Amino acid sequence: MTELDLLYTDIEDDLRNVVRAVLAAHCDPGAVTALYDGDRSLVASLWKSVAVDLGLAGLLIPEDRGGAGASAREAAVVLEELGRFVAPVPFLTSAVVATTLLLGTDGPLLGQLAAGERTAALVTPFSTCAHGTFPTVSLGPDGLTGSITSVAGALEADVLMVPAEGPDGVAVYAVPADRAEITPVISLDMTRQLADITFDAVAGEQVVLHGESAVRRALEAGTALLASEQYGVARWCLDETVGYLKERRQFGRVVGGFQAIKHRLADLYTAVESANAAARYAAATLAADDADATVAAAVAQAFCGDLAVLAGEEAVQLHGGMGMTWEHPAHLYLKRAKADQIAFGTGGAHRSRLAELVDIPGPR
């Protein structure tokens, strides 16, 4: 383990400001809420702004492959802002998970992802833990056959990265999305809607020969950086709730002045700051390829997943009846937090994994 600087750099602060300005201009909460009524028109236009106009689709891709050559630290800053706006874009699934999977490959697909010309998704259930088992489709003489359920990012993807079991083990195949049957699923978080995918003897191009290790590496990157999105969700909930309670009056005084409310917000503030530290450390170890990266990812996901849900619940409750209404965005954040809580493995799975990594007895 090396000593890592967890403070934000000037470049990261500038990146945050740019991303926040674009999201403030193009990611209106009303348009995000419309996703729950089936209007997904925001997704494509916002993804173009983020992926192409800002060039963030290629953030983790080396410059000689057409990307920005940045690290997981910068990607984490972007995810913090995407979480702060519950932005419905496939940055996590395409620019982080699918891109990490392809970093060692030589084909043109990585450059196309970097340019924002195509968007990819790894075909595993969103709940798949990097260290657990994951389903695959079958590779036969006629092509790929099988079904995978609850896949994130598939609805926005042009190409699907499909783990397939063949005679030589698991390999990953790139399949154009229009060759698969993709069925949208009514999801708790419609800002990251899941889909069930079926392949019926479809042809694909093998892009990763030793697929199991590559898939696990991609999922672990997603695990580590999802914590930054969860921190962004929690940060918005805390900031908005504090701002509201500083103005809302009841019984002739400001609601935020009641001692019990102060204690709840102080506890939440402490927890959110702790989440920031855990998420930053996970991103920093991932960026540095540090030996502690796996431990850091497990710690971050075990803590930040539950904390984001707590922050969402506090935001809804402390906004009173208004927080329960369709017009207020607090429910968007609680749903994103609840869905993220089981993404890439539950908190219990990460705590069990952490117990193994640091050699202490886990829960039985």
* Res 166: pLDDT: 87
Q: Is the pLDDT of residue 37 over 90?
A: yes
pLDDT in tens, 84-111: 999 999 999 999 999 999 998 988 999 9
Q: Is the pLDDT of residue 361 over 80?
A: no
What is the overall mean pLDDT for the chain?
Answer: 95
* Res 362: pLDDT: 58
State which fold the 213-358 domain adopts: Butyryl-CoA Dehydrogenase, subunit A; domain 3 (1.20.140)
- The alpha-helical segments, DSSP class H, found in 59-206 are 72-84, 99-102, 109-114
- Mean pLDDT over 183-203 rounds to 97
* Res 251: pLDDT: 85
Residue with tokens 């969103």: 126
CATH of domain 10-118: 1.10.540.10
* Whether 78 contacts 59, CB under 8 Å: yes
pLDDT in tens, 126-181: 999 999 999 999 999 999 999 999 999 999 999 999 999 988 899 999 999 999 99
What HEC string does 139-180 produce?
Answer: EECCEEEEEEEEEECHHHCCEEEEEEEECCEEEEEEEEHHHC
User: What are the sequence ranges of the domains in the chain?
Assistant: 10-118, 121-210, 213-358
- Mean pLDDT over 324-349 rounds to 94
Q: Does domain 121-210 match CATH 2.40.110.10?
A: yes
Q: How many CB atoms lie within 10 A of CB 30?
A: 9
Percent of the chain whose predicted confidence (pLDDT) is above 70: 99
Is-same-fold flag (10-118; 121-210)? no
For the ranges 62-76, 250-264, 272-286, the lowest mean pLDDT is seen at: 250-264
pLDDT range class, residue 1, cuts 50, 70, 90? low
